Amino acid sequence: MEIGYNDWIMRSFSLFIRCALVSTCVVLFGLSSCSSIKLLLQGGEKQVKREPRPSEPGPYILIFAFDGVGYDQLMEALHSGKAPAMAGMLGREEGYGLYEHAYSVPNAVSILPSTTIAAWSSIFTGAPTAWNGVAGNEWFVREDMKFFAPVPVSVQEMDDNRAMITEGLVSKALKSPTLFQQAGVKSAVSLNPVYRGADYFTLVDPVSMVALYTEFLAHPGGENSPEKVDIYEKLDKESVPKLLDSIEDHGVPKIQVVYFPGIDLYTHLARDPIPMEVNYLETVMDPLVAQILEAYRGYGVLDQTYVVVIADHGHTPVLKDPQHALGTDPNGGPAAAVKAAGFRPRKFVLNPGASEQDYQAVFAYQGAIAYVYLADRSTCPKAGMTCDWKRPPRYTEDVLPAVRAFYNSNKTGKPIPVLKNTLDLIFTRRPTRPGKNTQEYEIFDGHRLVPIWEYLIRHPRPDLIQLDKRMEWLSMGPYGNRSGDILLLTRSGLNRPIEKRYYFSAPYYSWHGSASPQDSHIPLVVARKDFPGTKLKKMVNNVAGLQPSQLALVPLVRALLTSELAPGPVLPIVIRRSDESAVPVAKSPSSSSPSRPTSGVNEPAAAATSNRPRRPLGWATR
């Protein structure tokens, strides 16, 4: 059933591509501003702030944002001798992440899910997903019955991808202020979808970008022919002249983000993903980095510039076939499990038709993770009735039947045979009404919900890096319900044979999204010309702490802008709503349960007398 269904999708995709591109052109020519039309048809610069900030003296921050580049892959390229620009930027290696003029954090991790849109949203706000409101490559806002797919995985339509490129969909969706808003200095962003608050945003031809993403989704089973490699190289290469033209026109900004997305798309389709990604770093990325560094040198500011390298996630090789790609077949995939439990699953489309609004379950795919959103079925028991999605599902009547259907299918193959032995862990929690702070996910062990920390004490999982903390970031907060009522984690990671790795998507050669080291261990490098690496290490550790993550970037940049050693972590700001309750206190474990390990920092506490939430302190260091 899965193969036939996917074949039907591929046959219908050529018509979809033509419609998507025609739709894009209609939007472009519907714009009122001639300059906007020129920007979107040819690429170039968009002035984001009505009144751009004035130029200022250094120090400057130059952020290289590499999409999909794991820590080990960057280190291999640096040590190969084939990436002279990046290696020269760091200087002589002195061990344990320390270089003559740089410090490379050896143990930085991503948030969860380790996917593009969720990670960059957290990186450039300093707030985890449960607080910034952007939960993944795609997510569902239940109170609005609205599905978002800026990087579609389970749906085909490209509308949100186009809106991300041309209309700032991701920036508009964020509930937390960005780095550029928090820093309050002249800033510019190239290509990255998180640019709210920057002065300038530069991009390549958006029609070509949408066509590229459409081609990528239309041929997930394809391989990287020389022609396709050229397509992804072109995306990264053409972005550099646009941002350099902007600098020429407006001067060097205090913060410049240089985002390279082509390497991620390339690696998904690479037959031998890890070595081919390293080769891309050496042959494509390093010359581009050299070009930008040379421009900064030409402007006489390179010695005043902190160069930061960061990535959103790594890549895990997987088998490119429908047996390992847990796709969207309503009769044989994850949707079939909730259907067997008595739910009406939502169609895998961006916007269901007027007669298709009676769904009781929604899926959003994140590679190694899938979110499952459930309705209170008492509000829509009969087909044709629209559920009240403002109400949370009932735990006993709605959540548990779906959880058991997934658990049993994974253990026994019943009721859904294709799900047998595909899932690693199943998470769920007692539902919370939208607008309230959600509870942290717990693990269903076949009988009851077990707190993650307790489960890990009884079943150690060193292959799932900092799972408890990262799941708290994902699920516990005012927007924690955007990661679903159930979270499915597939079997993944390099510790498993490739034939035992699974993912929620169409077939590719690599995926990500999990808590495994390969997906989660990311580069975080700070360098400065002729600046002692020992001082950089001290500056970074002072902000990022002993367990650094992507959430450290915003406070780190704010500290670097002062060129001083901050006395402690610069805490991120979070927009709060007046109707949110306080973060609930974790229940004390029973005497028969092991005690929860403490993190060594202040834990969130309940404030019963306040109707404003208290966010966890020191995300960057927790």
Query: How many domains does one find in the chain?
Result: 1
pLDDT, mean of residues 355-368 = 98
Of 53 and 29, the structure prediction assigns the larger pLDDT to 53
Task: Give the range of the structural domain holding residue 313, as residue numbers without chain letter.
Answer: 56-134+163-317+518-562
The residue written with tokens 């061990």 in the block is 95
Backbone angle region of 296, left / alpha / beta, with phi > 0 → left and psi within -120 to 50 → alpha: alpha
Q: pLDDT confidence of 204, banded at 50, 70, 90? A: confident
Is the N-terminal amide bond of 478 cis, ω within 30° of 0? no
Contact 142, 548 (CB under 8 A): no
Q: Which amino acid is at 375?
A: A
- On the question of pLDDT at 54 being above 90, the answer is no
- On the question of pLDDT at 587 being above 70, the answer is no
Dihedrals phi, psi of 325, to nearest 5 degrees? -90, 105
CATH number at residue 67: 3.40.720.10
* Cα(165)–Cα(588) distance, integer angstroms: 46
Q: Which amino acid is at 458?
A: R
At 128-167, the pLDDT tens digits run 999 999 999 999 999 999 999 999 999 999 999 989 988 9
Tell me, yes or no, whether 329 lies in a domain. no
- On the question of pLDDT at 571 being above 70, the answer is no
* Cα(171)–Cα(256) distance, integer angstroms: 17
Tell me, yes or no, whether 199 lies in a domain. yes
Is the N-terminal amide bond of 113 cis, ω within 30° of 0? yes
At 55-98, the pLDDT tens digits run 888 899 999 999 999 999 999 999 999 999 999 999 999 999 99
pLDDT, mean of residues 381-395 = 97
Helix (H, G, I), strand (E, B) or coil at 564: coil
pLDDT, mean of residues 586-611 = 33
- If residue 524 lies in a helix (H) or strand (E), which one and from where to where? strand 524-528
| Residues sharing a CB contact under 8 Å with residue 346, sequence separation 6 or more, in sequence order | 147, 352, 356, 359, 361, 362, 363
Task: Please state the pTM of the whole predicted model.
Answer: 0.86
Tell me, yes or no, whether 239 lies in a domain. yes
Q: Kindly report the average pLDDT of the chain as a whole number.
A: 85
Q: pLDDT confidence of 610, banded at 50, 70, 90? A: very low
Count of residues making up the chain: 622
pLDDT, mean of residues 312-325 = 97
Closest to 483 (Cα-Cα) out of 108, 128, 155, 120:
128
What's the CA dihedral at 466, 471, 476, 479 to 10 degrees? 130
Note the pLDDT of residue 617: 37
Note the pLDDT of residue 251: 94
Q: pLDDT confidence of 319, banded at 50, 70, 90? A: very high
Backbone angle region of 477, left / alpha / beta, with phi > 0 → left and psi within -120 to 50 → alpha: left
- On the question of pLDDT at 120 being above 70, the answer is yes
The residue written with tokens 């300059």 in the block is 35
Q: pLDDT confidence of 567, banded at 50, 70, 90? A: very low
Contact 86, 289 (CB under 8 A): yes
Tell me, yes or no, whether 61 lies in a domain. yes
Tell me, yes or no, whether 207 lies in a domain. yes
Tell me, yes or no, whether 587 lies in a domain. no
- On the question of pLDDT at 4 being above 80, the answer is no
Tell me, yes or no, whether 460 lies in a domain. no
Q: Which amino acid is at 595?
A: S
As a whole number of angstroms, the longest Cα–Cα distance in the chain is 70
- If residue 117 lies in a helix (H) or strand (E), which one and from where to where? helix 116-123
Note the pLDDT of residue 29: 31
